[in-house]
Amino acid sequence: MIKVLIVDDSLVVRKMLAHVLEQDPDIEIIGFAHDGLEGIEKIKTLKPDIVTMDVCMPVLDGIKAVEEIMGNNPLPILIVTSSSFLSEGKHLIYRALEAGALDVVKKPDIREWDNPGEEVLKLIRKVKLLSKVKVIKHIKGALKVEKDLNIPLPKAMKSMKVVAIVSSTGGPKSLGKVLSPLPNDFPAPILIVQHIADGFIQGLADWLDSECKMKVVVAEKNEKIKPGIIYLAPTGTHMKVNHHGRIQLSNEVPINGLRPAGDYLLETVASAFRANVIAVILTGMGDDGTRGIVRVKHYGGKTIAQDEETSVVYGMPKTAFETGKIDKVLPLLKISKMILEFMN
């Protein structure tokens, strides 16, 4: 039996690929991932024989995912992408092949779900053939990952810690409880993604500013983060921090329907600040922040999740905890104290 992991950000495409591939009795779909980062993590646990990978995905795209997989846990990868992308994005396809992907095929038309045509048959043949290929580690990918871990930080950032918080349903009140005990000379910037309806983020910033000793602002593009200031991601915009400590705002595609997304924030601060990150997941439904938590631990950062008893909705903290990457699970009123302990 050939074990296949499907990596694609579209739920419809994931279902379609699973449906058409499992029409062959020799193929078993063992898992799904909706971005490259989740794909990398699932490869480690599921150990597939082959991976089908889209190219354009949020959080971590197919090219970077191929590079990291082939540099660390090499296995056959088949790029499966749209016909329009095959013609318009050829340069990206070539980059994926250069990074170690074995081949590329077009996504079957949805009309072929139950009436397999040539595209479906071609996809099945490729999966069965490529699953038997003995791939080798791509040193370039391995070196790139290692290099990323060792990029020298700007001198001013080497000792700076960053706190990143993700919250959703019940989050505003919880944020007040976590942030208000922190001193006005808190020695790190705090970056927050709070899922909230349009038009309310400035009001939240003003309210938190009145409740907290630290200054609270809505983040602005290219703003340099500073200790003692709390930055809220603007509504409808992803927020990240680059390697020079400046906030970048992006209108990239929503992640699981969310923009801003906590995963997006945690991913970037982990890459920029590595072991100097303290990540906190508060109350909320869904799983936003879970993949980001995995990335924070990958770089040696510290992680906290709110406990079930004090969460309005125990969704996001629960899925984060289930990754095994949470250092402390705490009731709401003890989180600020733990942040201060991790700072020291």
Q: What pLDDT does residue 95 have? A: 80
CA pair distance 107, 88, nearest whole angstrom = 15
Give the pLDDT of residue 18: 93
CA 199, distance to chain mean position in Å, is 26
Annotated active-site residue 34? The verdict is no
pLDDT of 108: 83
Which among 131, 167, 168, 336 is annotated as catalytic?
A: 168
Rounded to an integer, what distance in angstroms lies between the CA atom of residue 127 and that of residue 51?
Answer: 9
Q: Please identify which of the residues 49, 54, 61, 288 carries the catalytic annotation.
A: 288
Q: Which domains does the chain have, with CATH numbers?
A: 2-148 (3.40.50.2300), 155-343 (3.40.50.180)
Angle made by CA atoms 215, 217, 219, in degrees to the nearest 5: 135
- Residue 168 falls in the annotated catalytic set: yes
Provide the token pair at 142.
């391995």
Give the pLDDT score at 303: 98
84 is known as an active-site residue: no
The phi and psi torsions of 32 (rounded to 5 degrees) equal: -135, 155
Q: Is the pLDDT of residue 86 over 60?
A: no
Q: Give the lowest-confidence range in 111-115, 200-204, 219-223.
A: 111-115
Catalytic residue among 195, 238, 263, 271: 195
